[in-house]
A and B are shown apart, each in its own frame.
Chain A
Amino acid sequence: MMASDDVLRGQVRRAMGRVPVPTLDLSAVQARAAAPRARRPHLTRTWMVGAAAMVALALGAPVLARSVPDLYHVVISALHLTVVAREPGGQTLAQSAQGFRYTIGPARCKGAGPCGISIETSARTVSLAQAERDAAGWGFRVIPPAGLPTGAHLVAIREPGPMPGQPNQVWFQLRTASGGQFTIQEIGPPHVVWQGTVTTWVQDGTQIVISNGNRVLTAAQRNAIRSAMLARQPVPAVSAGPARGRAGPIARP
């Protein structure tokens, strides 16, 4: 027997009413409202590729002779943009003199605005100074989110492992000239292969809100990371998904 329209209405309303609604994360909404909007990200990527080619041509044959990772480097340093979304599977961009291999990613540029960036290392341990040297050597320059102070620079912070005997954790932070800091991005306990996580944070007193890169992770992922960071616990490994630039597994050195 065919269900009447009223019955159908009731069924649909009951079904929709049973959809569990998460709590509204007002800080995330505010951060999204403050963040620049990417209207055509696919065109942005196209533009990036074109811009990279133009830069390569402008710089001449020596650049063309370089490897693909170096070309990325050129894009970063010459255009002052961070890395565009990278194909899954991981791309080793640099190898330090000590044999530590680093992977940049994932990142997703939003128009001409800021990009998130994460750095992973396959090294079991890496000294703070070494990490700083390596990062600076690649010319990392990450444009801060709109409305925030410019002049950010990347520093690495080494912290003891969460448990005695565990390797140190190395964190990269972006610090601004004003003393505020944002973009706390784990590279994880170095013995763990972290999947790409890119998040930009603004730390304001005790509250950390997401300011940029918030489209890269899902809301639940961001919440999990934020909770862990606020509790000063290891940030959970999450995957932003390959389409959004996932840093794939990288081999141990």
Chain B
Amino acid sequence: MEGNGTMPADLALIRRAQAGEPGALHSLLEGAWPDAYRVAWSVLGDPRRAEDAAQEALARVMQSIGSLRRPELFRAWLLRIVTHEAWRELRRHSRERPAAPETLPACPAPTPLAAEERLDLEAALAALGPAHRLPLVLHYYSELSSAEIGAVLGIPAATVRFRLATARQRLRQLLEGPRPEGEAARLDATLGGVRR
């Protein structure tokens, strides 16, 4: 596993959670929450929907933790559930009409560090689209291998590698400035062809 090994302390916690110890389960969920939320966010790009999807995923974890046969694969299993819930939310949202403006306060603003870089990166990541952003996030942030990402997404590892290569290329282009129009069209066509 490429950087995705579950630490022995985590394994003990997972086993205690599987044994039905509520405190252990809660600790496990608390620990899994940031990753779950961020991965859901990388698919959905919306804080509230990401929170919904991540909560739903943790609820599934809570229900099914006892059936996890290999605790060392907990993280990959969790990310698979999160990804599934996020895609499910995305599909559901795509079927529905746009939501009405809400009156609730917006999500807290991100930390004001390296504003230019942040804007560039976030804009570039957002421009990728979920089908390419998610493998990128799973690879670079969650440190999963292509095979593991394939298992999480339910696609062949080769497809993952292709998407990663495309995403990298696109991200670099986006970060380095505007592309020539012809190249942009070609790349967009490529991305459109592999988009889920």
Do A and B interact with each other, yes or no? yes
**Is A42 a contact partner of B95 (Cβ separation < 8 A)?**
yes
**Is A25 a contact partner of B49 (Cβ separation < 8 A)?**
no
User: Is A232 an interface residue, CB under 8 A from the partner?
Assistant: no
Number of B residues near A (Cβ < 8 Å) is 55
**Is B37 a contact partner of A26 (Cβ separation < 8 A)?**
no
Dominant secondary structure at the A interface: helix
Q: A2-B176, A32-B55, A218-B52 are in contact. Are A238 and B62 (CB under 8 A)?
A: no
A13 to chain B, nearest CB (A): 6
Closest residue of chain A to B118 (Cβ to Cβ) is A18
A1, A12, A224, A246: the one within 8 Å of B140 (CB) = A12
Within 8 A of B (CB), among A17-41: 18-22, 24-26, 28-30, 32-33, 41
CA distance A28 to B57 in the complex (A): 12
A2, A16, A41: the one within 8 Å of B141 (CB) = A16
Q: A12-B136, A243-B96, A243-B97 are in contact. Are A18 and B102 (CB under 8 A)?
A: no
**Is A238 a contact partner of B113 (Cβ separation < 8 A)?**
no
**Is B55 a contact partner of A219 (Cβ separation < 8 A)?**
yes
Q: A2-B172, A29-B55, A218-B51 are in contact. Are A15 and B101 (CB under 8 A)?
A: no
B53 to chain A, nearest CB (A): 10
Q: Which of A3-11, A53-61, A177-185, A199-207 lies at the binding interface?
A: A3-11
**Is B38 a contact partner of A19 (Cβ separation < 8 A)?**
yes
CA distance A26 to B22 in the complex (A): 12
B30, B58, B140: the one within 8 Å of A9 (CB) = B140
Q: Other CB < 8 Å A-B pairs besides A21-B38, A22-B47, 9 of them?
A: A12-B136, A12-B140, A16-B140, A22-B37, A32-B58, A33-B60, A236-B103, A239-B101, A239-B103
Which residues of B are at the interface with A, using a C-beta cutoff of 8 A? 26, 29-30, 33-34, 37-38, 41-42, 47-49, 51-52, 55-56, 58-60, 62-63, 92-93, 95-105, 107-111, 113-114, 117-118, 121-122, 125, 136-137, 140-141, 168, 171-172, 175-176
Which residues of A are at the interface with B, using a C-beta cutoff of 8 A? 1-3, 5, 8-9, 11-16, 18-22, 24-26, 28-30, 32-33, 41-42, 88, 195, 215, 218-221, 224, 236-239, 241-244, 246
| Chain A to chain B contacts (Cβ below 8 Å), 26 pairs | A1-B176, A8-B171, A11-B121, A11-B175, A12-B136, A12-B137, A15-B118, A16-B42, A18-B113, A18-B118, A24-B33, A32-B59, A88-B100, A215-B52, A218-B48, A218-B102, A218-B104, A219-B52, A220-B51, A221-B102, A238-B103, A239-B99, A239-B103, A241-B99, A243-B93, A243-B97
